Chain A
Amino acid sequence: MEIGHILSWVTYLPALIAAVIILMPRGFDKAAKWVALLGSSAIFILSLHLVTHFDASRGSMQFEESCEWIKTAAFAISHHMGIDGISLFLVILTTFLTPLAILCSWQSINKRVKSYLVCLLTLETGMIGVFCALDLVLFYIFWEVMLIPMYFLIGVWGGERRIYAAVKFILYTMVGSLLMLVAIIYLYFAHGGTSFDLIEITRSLSSGAVLLSSREEFWLFMAFLLAFAIKVPMFPFHTWLPDAHVEAPTAGSVILAGVLLKMGTYGLLRFCLPLFPGTAIDAAPYISVLAVIGIIYGALVAMVQPDLKKLVAYSSVSHMGLVVLGIFAFNMQGMQGATVQMLNHGLSTGALFLLVGMIYDRRHTRKIADFGGLAHISPVYAAAFLVVTLSSIGLPGLNGFVGEVLVLMGSFASSKVFGSLAALGMILGAVYMLWMYQRVFLGKLENPDNSAIKDIGIREKLILLPIVLVMLWIGVYSGPFLSRMEASIQQVQDRIDDARTSEEIYRVERFRTPDLQVNK
């Protein structure tokens, strides 16, 4: 049975639960936590409906729904939602991680609990909305609205330098996204001022009904790219990330690494490539260079970090570089690998932040030097950490392997140099992760402060177990995941190929639309 308006339900239910929590009287913190946990778990179960009813043979949008939202003489903004194989698992990832994020803050968050839960839940609405929105303005609205709860999560419940991190986070993202807004509006008028609908605009661009001059296409592409590159974050726009990660509370880091960063790479796949394939092809070598720099630089910096959270943060820079490289390889393996890798990175880095949060709750430090030999006193914790570490470095049999191999194959096919450098980055990844593991868990238990550490309890096992299971599932049997992505990625691929051939055949200067004159 199909549930009508399923995407709207999945998107707005978290906000609805947040509203319920706001209305709860003072002092009901425990109850609020239960409401949030059960509610978000229910949303996760509801979202599984999307997977089971997803038609893997279709590359187009599914579960589509559309209604007019703002309609005036000048504007037609519609509430158009839909998902395809690219966004499907990102939505699931979001609904999957949110209950875990709530569960992991069960004990560590004790001040302003209700506001905290409201932030997490509205954040969930924003993130799912970003992945579902097919109207450019709707997309932009979710993209921006989501910043506010994240800003508060970092700024109110974060660490010592939380305010600095929160402000840096919001300013960085705003610069990119506001320029993207200008590009969105420009695209709307270039398209004749009739629709902000992504599908329609893509169709008229690909059929040649609307032609952009190469200069226009270049600037529009750059505006979108900047917004996404900051979010990913691509080198050299990554500097907000370590600060935000280190200062955010555990749940904030999990969501940030798990989902928020994916919004950047998702945007590249969903908007940059289909809308402006010509410029994307031209820009691919430069972007790939930045991606490779990100991979290697991120790995090298991660290696020397004394702080666990910072190490994981820089490893994100490295891993997301790999995703970008895969996307700009412009072949099936590369893009499919990138999409899987988004999922994998969400799981493994999310899990790493959860694990770091657990040890921080116990010892109130994250310095690698403070630990050592933890495997002796907390074996379950050490084992879980090992699984996640191995997943992160791409051990065969775990999820990371699938994505990394695909991306490497893809990028190797398009450029041997980038492919080899990326492979080098993977080796470095193994070095810093295993070295960190060794320093924290192996050897003798030397620091007396650590001897009192308790192993993880039921609640924490409950958080980690589902993640580890999914990691194994993707690692052993990735078929169900890959097959659902394939058709949609093929569409992006076709769009790129079309542009490539037409570019080669004509190579003519395209004309700008006549009704849009530039004065200044």
Chain B
Amino acid sequence: MGNDLILLIPQFVLVIAAMALMLLEPFTPAAHKSRMARIAVLAAAVAAFSLGSQWSDQSRTILNGMFVVDNFSIFFQWLFLVILGVSAIISMKFNEREDINRGEYYSLLLFATSGMCLMVASTDLILTFIGIEILSIATYVLAGFKRNDIRSNESSLKYFLLGSFATAFLLYGIALIYGSTGSTNYQTIRELASMQGGFQNTTFIGMGLLLVGFGFKIALVPFHSWAPDVYEGAPTPVTAFMTVGPKAAGFAALIRILVEAVPFLADEWSSILWALSILTMILGNVVAVLQTNVKRMLAYSAIAHAGYILVGIVTNSDSGFSAVLFYLVIYMIMNLIAFSVILSISGTGDARVHLNDYVGMARKAPFAAAALSISLVSLAGIPLTGGFIGKFYLFSAAIRNGYIGLAVIGVLSSVVSVFYYFRLLVYMYMKEPDETAEVPEPVSWLVQVVIVMGIIGILWLGIFPDHILTLADYSILAPK
């Protein structure tokens, strides 16, 4: 039992810090609320550090087989902690500017992160469900944190209603799987099902409903309709958080369920995800072309990227899962950088998020423009950026496993994405600004540090990706 507790330290750190922030909030004067952010960052660092000591070659299951500590879960928890840290840092200035500088905000970020950590480490459908709920409830509130802004309210409400709807699917799926196999534990489900001869209609339908639920959470077409509105209305740092954190957590939990609980349905889920992946890549990219609001454009781009990531899962192979892990890392970096720049440029109340507001940005804010360009070029998958290596890895996994058509559709849809990513470059660099346009306030130094580190990360992963690729190779769940 003592050993169990040691392995749970990262979770304790996050939850205790979250509760401490709640308690400290009333006693912190308004001028010093950004201390709350520092506590959140500190908690993330401590948790990440304590996770580091858990890295080993074998997986350890605790809490009666509900919670597993393996490289897969550690890899993802590190990812979430980085996302938490960056989101907290980029929120500081933003929350002051938008006058929503409250301690609960960081507390909710911490709770959301602890939910994500539970999701990836859980090996039981019930615990997975609890993780998803902790995450979702925190993000429902975060999405509506600008409570005087009607769009933020809309965002929150929409996310809540459709999210609950998705939760129902998820629960129903869990119930069906439990009903047909008699367990909610991944390993037991697998073993019992194989004793019963594998495929069963109820298990299959249960798995299908689970896919619908996860499809909502990670915004796969056709379950994506909430995403653009929610991403557009939420406070920008929250949008940044949502496009990477919950998405990565959803993918991680989904992979674990598919690989550990229902591998006997691999042919079925692989075919379903194959279709979803094509739909998601095409629709996400094509609709993004039509957007003139930059935040909304990136929302559709986030949908499209979920489609690329699915390609790796469809292959149901070591190379595919490793590609997914790598892609999620680079996707996190480039999306966080893009949103960090956008929230710095956008001005109070998202006053400048239209494409036209970016005209001449290269002159007015050269640093921001350059940083945004690099992350967009990486999102488009141009070589020498991590985005290229990520896509290269994903599509080569597809080709290796014989999904040539999927790879071709993937690359063609990413040509479409080049159009809208580069359109932003056109506005920033190629259109002449009129002199009256106001200059955005300078990016705060802390955010600058984050951005510079992110750019180094993008280029580093584009030129010397070996380390992270190998790390991803070590962290995958081997197909059962």
Contacts and interface: CB of A to CB of B under 8 A. Distances in A.
A516 B402 CA distance: 7
B396 interface: yes
A174 B274 contact: no
B422 interface: yes
A151 B426 CA distance: 10
B470 interface: yes
Nearest to A516: B402
Interface in A281-325: none
Given A148-B382, A178-B415, A520-B405, A185 B466 contact: no
A187 B237 CA distance: 43
Contacts of A193: 400
A145 B319 contact: no
A74 B429 contact: no
Contacts of A71: 466
A353 interface: no
A162 B430 CA distance: 9
Nearest to B472: A72
Given A167-B419, A178-B412, A520-B403, A188 B396 contact: yes
A72 B473 contact: yes
B418 A141 contact: no
B368 to A, nearest CB: 16
A470 interface: no
A186 B399 contact: yes
A163 interface: yes
Interface in B84-122: none
A175 to B, nearest CB: 5
Interface residues of A, number: 39
A508 interface: no
Contact of B426 (A137, A167, A171, A175): A167
Nearest to A112: B362
The prevalent SS among residues of A at the interface is helix
Nearest to B416: A171
Interface string A51-94: 00000000000000000001111110000000000000000000
Interface string B413-455: 0110011001101100111000000000000000000000000
Interface in B364-392: 377, 382-384, 388-389, 392
Contacts of A518: 402, 404
A170 interface: yes
A61 to B, nearest CB: 23
Chief secondary structure at chain B's binding surface: helix
B402 A179 contact: no
A300 to B, nearest CB: 31
B422 A167 contact: yes
Contacts of B473: 72-74
Nearest to A73: B473
Contact of B383 (A145, A186, A516): A145
A481 interface: no
Contacts of A167: 419, 422-423, 426
A167 to B, nearest CB: 7
Interface in A153-191: 155-156, 162-163, 166-167, 170-171, 174-175, 178-179, 181-182, 185-186, 188-189
Given A72-B473, A155-B426, A144 B402 contact: no
Given A145-B384, A517-B402, A156 B377 contact: no
A271 B399 CA distance: 20
Interface string A172-214: 0011001101100110110001000000000000000000000
A181 B393 CA distance: 12
A144 B411 CA distance: 14
B430 A155 contact: yes
Interface in A103-153: 137, 140-141, 144-145, 147-148, 151-152
A501 interface: no
A108 to B, nearest CB: 18
Contact of A520 (B382, B383, B404): B404
B421 to A, nearest CB: 11
B401 interface: yes
B415 A144 contact: no
Contact of B429 (A72, A156, A179): A156
Given A145-B382, A167-B423, A520-B405, 17 more contacts: A70-B465, A73-B470, A74-B393, A74-B397, A141-B383, A141-B388, A145-B384, A147-B382, A155-B429, A163-B430, A166-B430, A170-B422, A171-B415, A178-B415, A179-B412, A182-B407, A516-B402
Interface of A: 70-75, 137, 140-141, 144-145, 147-148, 151-152, 155-156, 162-163, 166-167, 170-171, 174-175, 178-179, 181-182, 185-186, 188-189, 193, 516-520
29 contacts: A72-B466, A74-B393, A141-B383, A145-B382, A145-B384, A148-B382, A155-B425, A155-B426, A156-B429, A163-B426, A163-B430, A167-B419, A174-B415, A174-B418, A178-B414, A179-B408, A179-B412, A181-B411, A182-B407, A185-B392, A186-B399, A188-B396, A516-B400, A519-B401, A519-B403, A520-B402, A520-B403, A520-B405, A520-B406
